[in-house]
Amino acid sequence: MTDQTTADTAAASDTTSADRPLRVAIMGAGPAGIYAADALMKSGENVSIDLFERMPAPFGLIRYGVAPDHPRIKGIVTALHKVLDKPQVRLLGNIDYGTDITLDDLRRFYDAVIFSTGANADRALKIPGIDLDGSYGAADFVSWYDGHPDVPRTWPLDAEKVAVLGVGNVALDVARVLAKTGDELLPTEIPANVYEGLKANKALEVHVFGRRGPAQAKFTPLELRELDHSPNIEVIVDPEDIDYDAASEDARRNSKQVDMVANTLQDWAIRDVGERPHKLFLHFFESPHEVLGDDGKVVGLRTERTQLDGTGNVKGTGKFNDWDVQAVYRAVGYLSQNISKLPFDDQAGVVPNEAGRVVADDTAEGKARFMPATYVTGWIKRGPVGLIGHTKGDANETVANLLEDRPAFAQPEDAREDAIIEFLEEKNHPYTTWQGWYRLDAHERALGEPEGRERVKVVERHDMLKASEPDKA
Ligand SMILES: Cc1cc2nc3c(=O)[nH]c(=O)nc-3n(C[C@H](O)[C@H](O)[C@H](O)COP(=O)(O)OP(=O)(O)OC[C@H]3O[C@@H](n4cnc5c(N)ncnc54)[C@H](O)[C@@H]3O)c2cc1C
């Protein structure tokens, strides 16, 4: 593919000139990477940015995490388009850092590298039975319903009663998608295989479990209230589960968001249960203790009843409840992956950093504290929490530090903008571009048009690559 936008090749080819553009590689074209490109361009410095992405399409978890029935959030890509439309930034997709390109390669072509590789795996939950057949990580299910090319095309949805562990927005997404009907989700961008799978979904009851109480739930008010908007979902809260200690009351007083969530849950706890066909129970003070199995398959969930200890935390009561469910989804947090040649904090799931500067592995006396010209931003910088908008502040901080460090950067071997293109062409590695995204985008919209849908997502990687190529969409 040769339709690269070259900003100012002539200036960049002068590798020794002090006034050539600052060449920056950003690894990962999710919101954090795109906001970092934006911050670099807005700095007023002469910059030339290559935004690398392992998927053939950009936008990270906006495309492969945000639920399909959240078109308003997915619409954030419109704002991100404006960043990628700028001539100082090129998208180079379908390139996996660590496999298709290494840190040494990047050092040859760029003054600095920013890693914004996000998070795409499930945090482990260490309870007996978690590996049984029918026990799933939320991230895998999300990847399936969001049409990620690297997960299987089918998903077993034969359980009538399902447990979802966790009380954050991802748990809500998973519970809502499980409780809605396939037809309710059809107007969204879900691909055909996902629609077929959801249409065959047998779930009638979805039980969401939180260890702590309503004041400790991590839901955002809007996402919580949205559960109740489906004509097919009856949201049920047990009045026994509404309880607050002094710390919970403080939390409600100090945070409007906490108070709104608690009020919504209270309202639901005191109303009559209606007739909508799918029941979605929100349980509190139930700590997952064991996934129960028979013949290797999930047949239930055992929880321990907990109670508040006065500090907003909970302690076990020794009273156990068994729930008749045939599938368990754990939505207990996302986890970032180790990045080749970078230090990694396995516990926190982040690259150790100070305000975006990557802390070197060996920080013994006399050694540099930071890896040279190496930065992180977004979820890989501070862990997998927070909304898309939060990655903007991350990016501003990281970029400010990168620019401050600029005088100390080593001169790359070949800072020409074409050098990386020659490198990729030499390897004969198929990569996608921003123009390619416009083609794929148009192709997906065209697929949706006959059915009056905004788009239908293309799933297979080779189909995405094909649709991204000139004149083949
Ligand atoms: C299920 C789910 C639902 C969410 N819903 C919402 C919502 O409704 N509203 C909201 O505001 N926020 C939502 N979020 C949060 C939001 O998605 C994150 O805040 C945001 O995506 C984090 O941005 P990021 O760029 O750090 O990571 P990511 O979005 O994960 O982007 C990282 C990018 O790096 C790429 N990458 C990874 N490894 C490599 C590699 N080795 N080489 C090249 N590229 C690589 C990935 O493919 C990805 O494109 C949701 C998150 C999840 C998990």
How far does residue 8's CA lie from ligand 1's centre (Å)?
31
Q: Which residues approach ligand 1 with their CB closer than 6 A? A: 27-33, 52-55, 60-61, 65-66, 70, 73, 96-98, 116-120, 142, 170, 173, 334, 378-379, 386-388, 391
User: pLDDT-based confidence at 471, cuts 50/70/90?
Assistant: low
Nearest Cα residue to atom 35 of ligand 1 = 28
The answer, yes or no, to whether residue 5 has pLDDT greater than 50, is: no
Assess whether 237 and 359 both reside in one domain.
Answer: no
Assess whether 216 and 165 both reside in one domain.
Answer: yes
Assess whether 349 and 206 both reside in one domain.
Answer: no
Tens digits of per-residue pLDDT, 96-107?
A: 999 999 999 999
User: pLDDT-based confidence at 132, cuts 50/70/90?
Assistant: very high
Assess whether 419 and 384 both reside in one domain.
Answer: yes
Record the pTM: 0.94
For residues 223-246, give the mean pLDDT: 97
Assess whether 330 and 367 both reside in one domain.
Answer: no
In this structure, is residue 353 part of a structural domain? yes
How far does residue 471's CA lie from ligand 1's centre (Å)?
30
Assess whether 138 and 224 both reside in one domain.
Answer: yes
Count CB neighbours of 13 within 10 A.
Answer: 15
Tens digits of per-residue pLDDT, 318-334?
A: 999 999 999 999 999 99
Of 282, 307, 334, the residue that ends a domain is: 334
Assess whether 313 and 356 both reside in one domain.
Answer: no
How far does residue 117's CA lie from ligand 1's centre (Å)?
8
How far does residue 35's CA lie from ligand 1's centre (Å)?
12
The answer, yes or no, to whether residue 381 has pLDDT greater than 60, is: yes
For residues 108-121, give the mean pLDDT: 97
Assess whether 373 and 390 both reside in one domain.
Answer: yes
- CATH number of the domain to which 95 belongs: 3.40.50.720
Mean pLDDT, the chain, integer? 94
Tens digits of per-residue pLDDT, 387-424?
A: 999 999 999 999 999 999 999 999 999 999 999 999 99
What domain range includes position 16?
Answer: 3-119+336-432
Nearest Cα residue to atom 2 of ligand 1 = 65
The answer, yes or no, to whether residue 275 has pLDDT greater than 60, is: yes
In this structure, is residue 464 part of a structural domain? no
Assess whether 297 and 244 both reside in one domain.
Answer: yes
Of 279, 308, 334, the residue that ends a domain is: 334
High-pLDDT (> 90) share of the chain, %: 92
The answer, yes or no, to whether residue 366 has pLDDT greater than 50, is: yes
How far does residue 140's CA lie from ligand 1's centre (Å)?
14
pLDDT at 364: 73
Nearest Cα residue to atom 38 of ligand 1 = 117
Task: Kindly give the number of the ligand 1 atom that is closest to the alpha carbon of 55.
Answer: 47
Structural contact between residues 238 and 280, judged by C-beta atoms closer than 8 angstroms: no
In this structure, is residue 72 part of a structural domain? yes
Task: Kindly give the number of the ligand 1 atom that is closest to the alpha carbon of 62.
Answer: 17
In this structure, is residue 438 part of a structural domain? no
Assess whether 271 and 413 both reside in one domain.
Answer: no
pLDDT at 72: 86
Secondary structure string (H, E, C) spanning the chain: CCCCCCCCHHHHHCCCCCCCCEEEEEECCCHHHHHHHHHHHHCCCCEEEEEEECCCCCCHHHHHCCCCCCHHHHCCHHHHHHHHCCCCEEEEECCCECCCECHHHHHHHCCEEEECCCCCEECCCCCCCCCCECEEEHHHHHHHHCCCCCCCCCCCCCCCEEEEECCCHHHHHHHHHHHCCHHHHCCCCCCHHHHHHHHCCCCCEEEEECCCCHHHCCCCHHHHHHHHHCCCEEEEECHHHCCCCHHHHHHHHHCHHHHHHHHHHHHHHHCCCCCCCEEEEEECCEEEEEEEEECCEEEEEEEEEEEECCCCCEEEEEEEEEECCCEEEECCCEECCCCCCCCCECCCCECCEECCEEECCCCCCCCCCEEEEEEECCHHHHCCCCCCCHHHHHHHHHHHHHHHHHHHCCCCCCCCHHHHHHHHHHHCCCCECHHHHHHHHHHHHHHHHHHCCCCCCCCCHHHHHHHHCCCCC
Nearest Cα residue to atom 41 of ligand 1 = 97
- CATH number of the domain to which 266 belongs: 3.50.50.60
Domain count, the chain: 2
Mutate which of 27, 52, 61, 379 for ligand 1 pocket (most atoms within 8 A of beta carbon): 61
Tens digits of per-residue pLDDT, 152-187?
A: 999 999 999 999 999 999 999 999 999 999 999 999
In this structure, is residue 462 part of a structural domain? no
The answer, yes or no, to whether residue 13 has pLDDT greater than 50, is: no
Assess whether 79 and 188 both reside in one domain.
Answer: no
pLDDT at 473: 42
The answer, yes or no, to whether residue 17 has pLDDT greater than 60, is: no
pLDDT at 470: 87
In this structure, is residue 443 part of a structural domain? no
pLDDT at 292: 98
Of 297, 317, 334, the residue that ends a domain is: 334
Mutate which of 66, 335, 390 for ligand 1 pocket (most atoms within 8 A of beta carbon): 66
The answer, yes or no, to whether residue 16 has pLDDT greater than 80, is: no
pLDDT at 18: 63
In this structure, is residue 201 part of a structural domain? yes
Which is higher by pLDDT, 193 or 363?
193
Nearest Cα residue to atom 37 of ligand 1 = 117
How far does residue 408's CA lie from ligand 1's centre (Å)?
31
The answer, yes or no, to whether residue 1 has pLDDT greater than 70, is: no
Assess whether 66 and 146 both reside in one domain.
Answer: no
User: pLDDT-based confidence at 365, cuts 50/70/90?
Assistant: confident
In this structure, is residue 447 part of a structural domain? no
Task: Kindly give the number of the ligand 1 atom that is closest to the alpha carbon of 52.
Answer: 43
